[in-house]
Amino acid sequence: MIGQIAQNPCYKQYGIIAQNSNRRTEPFSFLFLSDGKNNFEKIKNMIEINKNYNESNLETLKRIVDNTIDLTLTSPPYDNLRMYKGFTMDWHTLIKELYRATKQGGVVVWVVGDSTQKGSETGTSFKQALFAMECGFNLHDTMIYQKSTPPLTHNRYEQNFEYMFVWTKGNPNTFNGLREPREYTDNRTKKAFGRNKDNSVDLGYSSKDETRLKRNIWRYFAGGGANDKIASQHPAIFPEALAQDHILSWSNENDLIYDCFMGSGTVAKMSILNKRNWIGSEISSEYCNIIEERIKKAWEEKRKEKDLQAQTLFGNEM
């Protein structure tokens, strides 16, 4: 791993000397948690999981050994919002560290937009995606988060989306494709999908299935899904449905999910409810209080669900 990092062009470009790393790279194992009880056996140079850390994400990543994370799902502040509660974001170093810590076949979902400055969009999102590719990630998919937002006054069409870049370390280990209802049923036996390079018609056969694989434009109400006063204390709530859809798509039960900008704790909450392990980083102590409250409620909700399942099972046995 160290040799691979040393040869990586993004590390050479920014002067990282991988040979000087003191991190351990030998195989390791850990026990997963359940019901919020910490049964994790602490091992030297490792990190406790199912926990949010009130610190810089780079500090958290220092304690995560190579090839550990199955899925990173995050939405970083950007452009004029990069001053975050008095803190700045070093996205170059962060992306490099995410590549190191991500498992082979792991995924990073990077939800980001661009601000408009002096009449021009900054294009920072594209710069981040291209840099991730320099570091070794594949740009597996460029998805769109279409959001419902209040109308504003511009001399351009209303901005109502952010990019959801899906970066993979090699081919993704997991893809649980979500499905959606078909908008209509095509009863034709043949239809034209497009044209081939020689300009001939490319014929395909229609499906009469009532559902289809979701397309890569996902629509959510901006900040929606939290439905609680605790989460609304954060200025940019991550939609719960968006977080859940990515967690279900790119990970399996007991996988390890990381959010390097935990914010209001939505990724942690949806990881708990969907039986995933997680780690969070949040540099603002004010937001960490919000996260802790939402985590407690998520574990309570999960326990109630298990109690209901146990009662149902007992009733069936009777």
Indicate if the alpha-carbon torsion angle 35, 38, 43, 49 is positive or negative. Answer: positive
* Segment 19-43 mean pLDDT: 38
Beta-bridged to residue 259, according to DSSP, are 280
* Residue 21 forms part of a structural domain: no
For residues 61-99, b (16+ Cβ closer than 10 Å) or e, as one string? beebbbbbbbbbbbbbbbbeeeebeeeebebbebbbbbb
Judge if 140 and 225 occupy the same domain. yes
Q: How far is CA 219 from CA 139, 164, 222, 232, 299, in A?
A: 21, 12, 9, 20, 28
Per-residue pLDDT, 88 = 72
Residue 15 has pLDDT above 50, yes or no: no
Q: What percent of the chain has pLDDT over 70?
A: 68
In a domain, 93, yes or no: yes
Instruction: Say whether both 115 and 189 belong to one domain.
Output: no
Residues 167 and 195 in one domain: no
Domain shared by 65 and 189, yes or no: no
Task: Between 84 and 248, name the one with better pLDDT.
Answer: 248
What per-residue confidence (pLDDT) applies to 234? 46
pLDDT for the residue numbered 217: 96
Return the CATH number at 93. 3.40.50.150
223 pLDDT tier (thresholds 50, 70, 90): low
Are residues 206 and 164 part of one domain? no
- Would 38 be classed as within a structural domain? no
Which residue, 170, 191, 213, sits at the end of a domain? 213
In a domain, 82, yes or no: yes
Per-residue pLDDT band for 208 (boundaries 50, 70, 90) equals low
Q: Are residues 157 and 227 in the same domain?
A: yes
Torsion sign (Cα): 91, 97, 102, 106 = positive
Instruction: Determine the residue type at 197.
Output: K
Task: Let me know whether 188 and 284 are in one domain.
Answer: no
Give whichever of 15-19, 122-126, 159-163 has the largest mean pLDDT.
122-126
For residue 306, what pLDDT is reported? 79
Going from the C-alpha of 180 to that of each of 173, 174, 255, the distances in angstroms are 23, 19, 25
CA distance 297 to 76: 25
Is 18 within the bounds of a domain? no
Domain count, the chain: 2
Q: CA-CA distance, 266 to 264, in Å (whole number)? A: 6
Range of the domain at 205: 181-213
Give the dihedral sign, CA 173/44/60/126.
Answer: negative
In a domain, 108, yes or no: yes
What is the value of pTM for the model shown? 0.78
37 pLDDT band, cuts 50/70/90, is very low
Tell whether the model's pLDDT for residue 257 goes beyond 60.
Answer: yes
Residue recorded with tokens 């034709």:
188
Is residue 66 scored above 80 in pLDDT?
Answer: yes
